[in-house]
Amino acid sequence: MKVKNLMMVSAIGITTMIYSCKSDNKQGTAPDAENFEVVCDEFADLEILRYQIPGFEELTPKQKELAYYLYEAANSGRDIIYDQKYKQNLTIRRTLEAIFNSYTGEKNDTDWKAFETYAKRVWFSNGIHHHYSNLKFIPECTVDYFKGIVKASDESLLPLDGRTVDVFLAEMLPIIFDPNVDAKIVNLASGIDNVKASVNNFYEGVTQGEVESYYASKMKKDDAQPISWGLNSKMIKENGVVVEKVWKIGGMYSSAIEKIVYWLEKAVTVAENEKQQKALSLLVSYYKTGDLKTWDEYNIAWVADVDSRLDVVNGFIEVYGDAIGKRASFESVVSMKDMEATKRIAAIAKEAQWFEDNSPIAAEHKKKEVKGITAKVITVIQEAGDAAPSTPIGINLPNANWIRQQHGSKSVSLSNIVRSYNIVSAKSPMLKEFAENEAQIERAKKYGALAGDLHTDMHEVIGHASGQINKGVGDPDLTLKNYASTLEEARADLVALYYVLDPKLIEMGVMPSLDCGKAEFDGYIMNGLITQLTRLNIGENLEEAHMRNRQLNAKWAYEMGKKDNVIEFVKRGDKTYVRVNDYDKLRSLFGQLLKEIQRIKSEGDYLAATALVEGYGVKVDQALLREVKARFVKLNVAAYKGFIQPKLTPVMEGNVMIDVKVEYPNDFKANQLELGKKYSFLPNKN
C-alpha cells in the first residue's frame, strides 16, 4: 500500500534557498545540499522536482555496487507500466520519441510548445491518461500539426509495425485526439461492468462476471495462506476460453523481465547478508516461473530481511490500476535506511501493541498480537514503473493480509522525497489562500512538517497493520471489491488521525505538543473538504482511492458532527473556508468511523461499504468545485508533483566496480528521452 502526498497543507516549515533550474548550470552535476535546485520544470498541472541521496557516499563500494544493480533492474521494467496502463501507450510514446529524435522543423511556435507539453504529460503519467484522474488528456496542438510533424520525422524511427505512415496515422489519431475513444483507464462507477468499462491492459474480451467466477473456482475456502490470484497476468479469452497470460520469462513482457532478472542475479552476488540474498534469489525465481506461491515465499523472506542497509521493492505490487483490485502494476523503489529519522518511526512501531489495544475498534476485530511491524525511514535511491515520476511518500508491504498477520510487514517513509516536498511547500501560497484563520496558519508553519511525518508514520506502521478479518471472511478485494482500496486507505488514515491527538505521542517523545495534532486535523479537514478539489476538473466527481478516502473521512465527520458544530463551513465574501471548532469531538468521530470501517472490513460487508463510499467519498459539490478552481488558478500552483530520478554510473577499474557516481539530471525531457533509449525492451504491442 502507498501513501500519497497530501500536498501543500501538512508540510510547511523547512525553508531552504531554491534556485530556479532555468539558470544555465551544467547538466547532471551533483550540487551541495544548501544550493540544490528542487524545482526543475512546470507544465500543465504538473511540477517536476528533484531529490538528493544524502548518505550515499557513506556506503561501502560493495553496497554501492548492489545499489547500481538494483537501479538497473528497476529501470529495466519501465516499458511494462506503459503497456499495463493502456496497450497503445508504447506505440504513442515511441512516436513522440521519434519526433524528438528526428524532426528538424520550427520549434519556437505555439504548436510545437503544445506538442512538447503533451509529450511531457505522457512521460509523467506513463501513458496518455492522467496519472491521478485516470482520464485521457488531449494534445493542445491541432491534428493537422501533429500529422505534419509525424510525416516530417524519420519514418524508420516510427513504431509502424508494418503499416504505412498514412494507415498508421489514420489508426492512431483518434486514439490520441478523440476524447471519447478509450477515455478512462480505471472505471470504478457502481452498477456497471468495471472490467469492461476500464481501458487498462489487464483484460481483453472478458466480463467482470467471467473474471470473478474464474477466480472463485480457484479459491479454496478457509485457506489460511491464500494465493494472490491474478496478480501477475493479463486475462484474455482464447477460442472462447478464459486464460491468463502470465508476466514472466517466456511469457508476456518476457524481454523486459529478462533484463530485470539479469540485474537481479548480479545483485544476488553482492547481497549484504544471507537473508537479503535469499529474498533476491526468490524474486529471481518468481520472475522466471511466474509462480505466485514463490511470490509469497519471496515476500516472507523479504519481510525477514531487516538488517540490510539497502533494500528494494521490485515486482507487480499495487492493484489500484485494476478496477477490481487483482492485477498489479510494475514498480520498483531502491532505497537505503535513513538512520536518524528511523528512530522516530521505530518509537511508534515499538508501541504498536499499545495502539492496537487502545484503538476504538471492536474488541473482536483487534489483533491479539501485533506481529513484527518493521518500520523505518528510507532514503530513496531510485524509483521506477508505477512509483515514478509521481511517487508515494510512504509504502507498506507486502499486500497479502495473511503474510502481514503471520510474518509481519515492512513500513517505510520516504524521507528525501518528503524533504523536497517540504522545500517546495514552504513557498506555496495555498495556505494563505485557504486557511480560515491565523491560528491555523501559525500551527501549520510551526508543526505542519512534523504532523505530516507523524501521519505518514502512523498510517503505515499502525494503520494498515491493525485489525483482523473475521474467520471465514475473504480478503477485502473479494468482499469489498471496487471499494476495498478506498476503505483500506480510509482505515489507515483514521488510525493516524485518532492517535495524532493522543497525549501518548508526547509521552513517547515524538510530538512536542497537542497543537501538532491540531495542525494535522486542520490540514486534513481543509484538504478533504476543500483543497483536494483543486485536482479535479469542473463536472468531475472523485475516482482515485486516496482522494475518495480523504473526502469520506472529512465529510462523514462533518455530517455526523453537524449538530454540535464540530466542523464549520465559513463563508467570507465569495470564498468558502472550513474550521474545526471542537478537536476532541472530532477525534472521537474519527474513532467511531474507524470502528465502523474496521467492522466492514472484518465482516466483508459490501452493502455498508457501498453506502459509505458512495454516500460520502464520491460526489463533489460542483458549485464549491468551481469556486475552489477559480481561487486556485489565480495562485499559479501546480496540482501534482513528480520527480526526475538520479542517475547512477559505475566507475570501473578493469572488471571491478570501485565506485558508483550519482548525478542529478535537471532536464525532464532529456532525461525521459535517455530512459526511452536505454530501457526500451518491449515490442510496441504485447
The residues binding Zn ion (CB under 5 A) are 1, 3, 489, 492
Q: Which residues pair with 396 in a beta bridge?
A: 411
Task: Provide the grid cell at 80.
Answer: 511494462
Single-letter amino acid, residue 43: F
The rounded distance, in Å, linking the Cα atoms of 220 and 526 is: 45
Paired sense of beta strands 409-414 and 373-385, if any: parallel
In the bound state with Zn ion, the residue whose beta carbon lies nearer, of 267 and 393, is 393
In the bound state with Zn ion, the residue whose beta carbon lies nearer, of 246 and 492, is 492
Q: Of all residues in this chain, which one has the CB nearest to Zn ion in the complex?
A: 1
Ramachandran angles phi, psi of 131, nearest 5°: -65, -25
Please report which helix (H) or strand (E) contains residue 640, including its range. Answer: strand 640-644
In the bound state with Zn ion, the residue whose beta carbon lies nearer, of 1 and 625, is 1
Q: How far is the CB of 412 from Zn ion (least distance, A)?
A: 12
In the bound state with Zn ion, the residue whose beta carbon lies nearer, of 208 and 391, is 391
In the bound state with Zn ion, the residue whose beta carbon lies nearer, of 47 and 489, is 489
The rounded distance, in Å, linking the Cα atoms of 397 and 465 is: 10
Q: How far is the CB of 485 from Zn ion (least distance, A)?
A: 9
Distance from chain centroid for Cα 270: 29
Task: Provide the grid cell at 616.
Answer: 460520502
Q: How far is the CB of 3 from Zn ion (least distance, A)?
A: 5
Q: How far is the CB of 406 from Zn ion (least distance, A)?
A: 21
Sequence-distant (6+) residues with CB within 8 A of 516 are: 443, 447, 450, 451, 454, 500
Q: How far is the CB of 6 from Zn ion (least distance, A)?
A: 12
Q: How far is the CB of 492 from Zn ion (least distance, A)?
A: 5
In the bound state with Zn ion, the residue whose beta carbon lies nearer, of 412 and 449, is 412
In the bound state with Zn ion, the residue whose beta carbon lies nearer, of 252 and 492, is 492
The rounded distance, in Å, linking the Cα atoms of 83 and 235 is: 14
**Contact present, 675 and 665 (Cβ < 8 Å):** no
Q: How far is the CB of 650 from Zn ion (least distance, A)?
A: 35
The rounded distance, in Å, linking the Cα atoms of 155 and 347 is: 59
**Contact present, 451 and 519 (Cβ < 8 Å):** yes
CA angle 379, 414, 557 (to 5 degrees): 165
In the bound state with Zn ion, the residue whose beta carbon lies nearer, of 3 and 510, is 3
**Contact present, 521 and 364 (Cβ < 8 Å):** no
Task: Provide the grid cell at 564.
Answer: 454540535
In the bound state with Zn ion, the residue whose beta carbon lies nearer, of 492 and 600, is 492
Q: How far is the CB of 272 from Zn ion (least distance, A)?
A: 28
Q: How far is the CB of 84 from Zn ion (least distance, A)?
A: 21
In the bound state with Zn ion, the residue whose beta carbon lies nearer, of 284 and 380, is 380
Q: Which residues pair with 607 in a beta bridge?
A: none
The rounded distance, in Å, linking the Cα atoms of 45 and 361 is: 39
Q: How far is the CB of 2 from Zn ion (least distance, A)?
A: 6
In the bound state with Zn ion, the residue whose beta carbon lies nearer, of 134 and 413, is 413
The rounded distance, in Å, linking the Cα atoms of 64 and 656 is: 12
Q: Is 240 exposed, middle or buried (0-12, 13-18, 19+ CB in 10 A)?
A: exposed
Please name which of 133, 139, 140, 233 lies closest in space to residue 184, comparing C-alpha atoms.
133
Please name which of 664, 643, 672 lies closest in space to residue 101, comparing C-alpha atoms.
672
Q: How far is the CB of 126 from Zn ion (least distance, A)?
A: 21
Alpha-carbon torsion, ordered 511, 512, 514, 517, to 10 deg:
-40
Q: How far is the CB of 469 from Zn ion (least distance, A)?
A: 17
The rounded distance, in Å, linking the Cα atoms of 314 and 316 is: 7
Sheet holding 640-644, edge to edge: 39-43, 46-50, 640-644
In the bound state with Zn ion, the residue whose beta carbon lies nearer, of 492 and 567, is 492
Task: Provide the grid cell at 358.
Answer: 487502545
**Contact present, 409 and 303 (Cβ < 8 Å):** yes
Q: How far is the CB of 131 from Zn ion (least distance, A)?
A: 17
In the bound state with Zn ion, the residue whose beta carbon lies nearer, of 63 and 409, is 409
Task: Provide the grid cell at 244.
Answer: 491468463
In the bound state with Zn ion, the residue whose beta carbon lies nearer, of 3 and 478, is 3
Q: How far is the CB of 132 from Zn ion (least distance, A)?
A: 16
Q: How far is the CB of 1 from Zn ion (least distance, A)?
A: 4
In the bound state with Zn ion, the residue whose beta carbon lies nearer, of 383 and 489, is 489
Task: Provide the grid cell at 661.
Answer: 557516481
HEC states along 550-602? HHHHHHHHHHHCHHHCCEEEEEECCEEEEEECCHHHHHHHHHHHHHHHHHHHH
Distances (CA, A) of 600 to 235, 467, 469, 593: 29, 11, 9, 10
